[in-house]
Structure 1
Amino acid sequence: MGVGPRARPCWHPPGPYTDDATTVGSTPALSCKGVTLTATQSLKILLVGGSGFVSGALARLALSYGHRVWAVTRGQRPLAPGITGIVADRRNRPAFAQAIANTGARWDLVVDCVGFEPDDAAQDLAVFRERAEHLVFVSTDFVYDPDHRRFPQSEETDHYLSEGYGGLKRACELVFLQAETKPLAWTILRPCHIYGPGSLLGCLPLHSRDADLLARLRRGEPLKLVGGGHFLQQPILAADLAATILSCYGNRNSHGQIYLTAGPEIIESWQYYQLIAETLGVPLQVEEIPVGQFLAEQPDRRSFICHRIYDLSKLRTHSLHSPATPIRDGLRQHVTSLLEQTNHAI
C-alpha cells in the first residue's frame, strides 16, 4: 500500500505556546523552541532505575544544571560520570530499603523511572516518605481502555485498564492516590511514546523498538505496520520529558496531580517512519497488517493498537514545562545517535 501524501503536515494541538521566558516552579524555562530550562538552585536528585533510557536523559539534564544526582541500579551497567551509584535490586525489598538508609541522605527530588507494579509504588512511599521532599512517578499513557478513549484524551476517565502493562501502571497510580503520603509530595506523569538517543526506534507493531529498523529501511524492506500505520501518535523526546519531570519540583500545583505528557505534534504512525526514512535519504514502503488479523493473533496487545493523542492543557495551566521539540528534529537526533553507535553517517 502507499504511505500517503509525503507533504501531509504534522498537526500542532492548540495551546498557549510562547517563546518568552517563564518560571516553572523554581526553574526558569522557555516553553517553546526546545529544552532550555536553567536551574536557579542546586538540588539533590535520586533516580530509581538510573541506567535506563529516560533516567539517562534525566541525569544528563540534571547534571547540566549543576544538580547532584544519585541513581539506584542493580549495578549491571556503568553510570555516567558525575552520578553517585547505589547498588540494590528493588525487588529485594528489605535490601533496597537498607541500601537507601545506608546513604544517610535526604533528597529534594526522587524520580521512579521504572516502577510498574503496585508493590513498587508502595515501596516508594515506605522508603522515601521521610527521605525526600517530592517524588515523581513515571506511569504511561497506556493506562486508558482503548475502547473508551476520547480524542484528545484528558487525564480524567472512568475507563482504565485493569490488566497487562497499562493495568499494572494504573494500579501503581492508585497506590499514590489512596495512601497517606505526607510529608512526601508526589506527581505522576503519563508519557506517550518516548523516543530519543539511548533507545531503539519504533512506535507501532510490528516495528516497535526495532533494533533492525534502520537496516530494514536502508535495504528497501517494506515495514509491516498494523492498520497501515494510520494510528495517531504524539511522541515525546526523552529530553523534553526530563525537563517536565524537573519542572515539577518547587511547583505546588503539581503536588498530588497526574499529568499527560506528550510532544507538540500529532502525526500518523507511518509519518514517524517516513521522517526516519527521510533522515536516512531512503524511501519508505509500508505493508499493511489488517487490525482485525493482528488482534486475532495477538489479543494481549489490544491496548497498544489505538490513537494516542492528548489534551495537555492541564500541564500548561499548572505551569509545568511543555514539551516543544519538533518531531522531525527529535527523530534526526535519535537516528544520528544510532548511526554514531555503528560508525555510519547520514
Structure 2
Amino acid sequence: MNTPSKILVVGGSGFVGTAVASRLTRDGARLVVPTRRRERARHLLTLPAIELVEADVFDPPTLARLMDGVDAVVSLVGVLHSRPGAPWGPDFARAHVELPTRLVTAAQAAGVRRLVHVSALGADAAGPSEYQRSKAAGEAAIRAAGTGLAWTILRPSVIFGPGDSFLNLFAGLVKRFPLLPLGGATARFQPVFVGDVADVVAASLVRPDAVGQTFELAGPRVYTLRELVEYVGRVSGHPCPVIPLPESLAMFQATLLECLPGPLMSRDNVRSMRADNVAAGVAQPWGRVPTPLEAVAPAYLGTANKRARLAAGLLRRD
C-alpha cells in the first residue's frame, strides 16, 4: 500500500492530533486539518505542508468539500463529557456516533479508500458508561462500511505526553490540596505514550495488514489510578496522600464537579472505571515496544515545567 499523499485529519488540532500531524508530515504527507477556530490551531503552522481550514466537520456538505482530493482520513474526535441520555448523551452521540457515520458516508462518496479511526480501549456496546457505549457505536459505524472502505480502528488506553489532560490534571490537583479524595482508586489503567499512538496511526495508513483490523494500544505497565496519582505527586514535587472513595461517595463527588464549567469528573467517568482500562492481548501491534511512562512523564511533570499544566488549564498565576 502506497503512502497517502494528502490526508484529512479530523480532530487534528488537539493533543493527540498535534502528535499525529507532526508524525505524518515527517513522512512527507500533505495534511488538511479542519478547525472551528483557526487561531486555536496556529501551533500547527510550524509544520510543513499543513492546510488549516476553518470548517464545521459535523456539517455534511462541508465534510464532502473537505474530502476533495484526499487519499486518506484520520478520525480523532472524542469527548470525555456529555449531557446524560440513553443509551448515551447527545454530546457523545454527536462526536462518537454521528461524526464517524458521516465520515464513512463522505469518504465513500468522494472515493477515499483509507480511514484510520481512533476509538478508545474499553469501547463496549454493553459497557457501564455512556462514553464506552457510544465509542462502540462509532466503531460499528466504521465497520459497517465493509469492503467499500479500507478501515483500521485503534483503541488506546489513557494517553499521556506533554500537554495531556490526564497526568496534568492530577499534577494540578496534588499541588493545590493537602490530600486527595479519589473515586475509582483501584481502577486499572495501562497508559500509552502519545508518540506511540501517532506512530501506529502512521503505520496503519500504509500497512496492508492493518486493513480491517482493530488494534489495542497500551503502555508496558498496568497501574491503579491511585498509583498513578501518587506517582504524579512524587515526580511533580507535591506528594499527596490519596483517600480512596467508595463508588457511592465518588458519584456524589462527581455530581458536584459536574456543576463546574469544564468538569474535572462526571458520574459517567466514575461508571467507566468499573471496567479496567487494560489491553486484553499485546500492548501494541507488529511487535512494537511501548514507551514507559517513567521515560517521558518526569520531563513535563517536574516542578520546573509548568507549560504542560498551563495547557491543561490547571494553573492560575501565582
CA–CA distance in 2 between the matches of 1:143 and 1:172? Answer: 9
User: What is the aligned-residue identity percentage?
Assistant: 25
- What amino acid does structure 1 have at the position aligned with 2:9? L
Q: What residue number does 1:325 align with?
A: 291
Q: What residue number does 2:275 align with?
A: 306
Q: 1:160, CA displacement in angstroms?
A: 2.9
1:271 corresponds to 2:227:
yes
* 83-92 or 213-222, which deviates more: 213-222
Q: 2:131 aligns with which of 142, 150, 165?
A: 165
CA–CA distance in 1 between the matches of 2:299 and 2:103? Answer: 33
1:86 corresponds to 2:53:
yes
Q: What residue number does 2:106 align with?
A: 127
1:222 corresponds to 2:184:
no
* 80-89 or 328-337, which deviates more: 328-337
Q: What residue number does 1:58 align with?
A: 20
Q: Do the aligned partners of residues 142 and 314 (structure 1) sit closer, same or farther apart at CA in structure 2, a change above 3 Å counting? A: closer
Q: Do the aligned partners of residues 162 and 221 (structure 1) sit closer, same or farther apart at CA in structure 2, a change above 3 Å counting? A: closer
- What amino acid does structure 1 have at the position aligned with 2:220? P
Q: 1:295, CA displacement in angstroms?
A: 4.2
Q: What residue number does 2:123 align with?
A: 143
Q: Do the aligned partners of residues 278 and 110 (structure 1) sit closer, same or farther apart at CA in structure 2, a change above 3 Å counting? A: same
Counterpart contact for 2:284–2:290, Cα < 8 Å: no
Q: 1:53, CA displacement in angstroms?
A: 1.1
- Taking structure 1 as the reference length, what is the TM-score of the superposition? 0.70
Counterpart contact for 1:264–1:326, Cα < 8 Å: yes
Q: 1:323, CA displacement in angstroms?
A: 5.3
1:248 corresponds to 2:204:
yes
Q: 1:181, CA displacement in angstroms?
A: 4.6
Q: 1:117 aligns with which of 85, 93, 96?
A: 96
Deviations 1:173-206 (A, max 9, x none): 1112223452x3100111111121232234xxxx
Q: What residue number does 1:71 align with?
A: 33
Counterpart contact for 2:196–2:291, Cα < 8 Å: yes
Q: 1:71, CA displacement in angstroms?
A: 0.9
Counterpart contact for 2:182–2:250, Cα < 8 Å: no
CA RMSD in angstroms, aligned pairs only: 2.9
CA–CA distance in 1 between the matches of 2:197 and 2:12? Answer: 15
Q: Do the aligned partners of residues 112 and 140 (structure 1) sit closer, same or farther apart at CA in structure 2, a change above 3 Å counting? A: same
- What amino acid does structure 2 have at the position aligned with 1:250? V
Q: What residue number does 1:96 align with?
A: 63
Q: 1:273, CA displacement in angstroms?
A: 1.8
Counterpart contact for 1:275–1:328, Cα < 8 Å: no
* 242-251 or 58-67, which deviates more: 58-67
CA–CA distance in 2 between the matches of 1:329 and 1:237? Answer: 10
CA–CA distance in 1 between the matches of 2:128 and 2:240? Answer: 37
CA–CA distance in 2 between the matches of 1:273 and 1:163? Answer: 22
- What amino acid does structure 1 have at the position aligned with 2:280? D
Q: 1:95, CA displacement in angstroms?
A: 2.4
SS at match of 2:67: helix
Counterpart contact for 1:42–1:65, Cα < 8 Å: no
* 245-254 or 91-100, which deviates more: 91-100
Q: What residue number does 1:239 align with?
A: 195
- Taking structure 2 as the reference length, what is the TM-score of the superposition? 0.76
Q: Do the aligned partners of residues 269 and 124 (structure 1) sit closer, same or farther apart at CA in structure 2, a change above 3 Å counting? A: same
Q: What residue number does 1:7 align with?
A: none
CA–CA distance in 2 between the matches of 1:175 and 1:332? Answer: 39
Q: Do the aligned partners of residues 86 and 62 (structure 1) sit closer, same or farther apart at CA in structure 2, a change above 3 Å counting? A: same
Quick one: higher RCO (CA 8 Å, sep 6+), 1 or 2?
1
Q: What residue number does 1:147 align with?
A: none
Counterpart contact for 2:152–2:214, Cα < 8 Å: yes
Q: 1:315, CA displacement in angstroms?
A: 4.6
Q: What residue number does 2:70 align with?
A: 106
Deviations 1:276-302 (A, max 9, x none): 222223323112211243247765441
CA–CA distance in 1 between the matches of 2:234 and 2:158? Answer: 20
CA–CA distance in 1 between the matches of 2:213 and 2:41? Answer: 33
Q: Extract unaligned runs of 5+ from structure 1.
A: 1-24, 27-40, 145-158, 203-208
Counterpart contact for 2:218–2:284, Cα < 8 Å: no
CA–CA distance in 1 between the matches of 2:245 and 2:283? Answer: 36
Q: Do the aligned partners of residues 118 and 281 (structure 1) sit closer, same or farther apart at CA in structure 2, a change above 3 Å counting? A: closer
SS at match of 1:69: strand
Deviations 1:202-255 (A, max 9, x none): 4xxxxxx73xx434423552122124x222110011111111111112222211
CA–CA distance in 1 between the matches of 2:4 and 2:152? Answer: 20
Q: Do the aligned partners of residues 287 and 62 (structure 1) sit closer, same or farther apart at CA in structure 2, a change above 3 Å counting? A: same
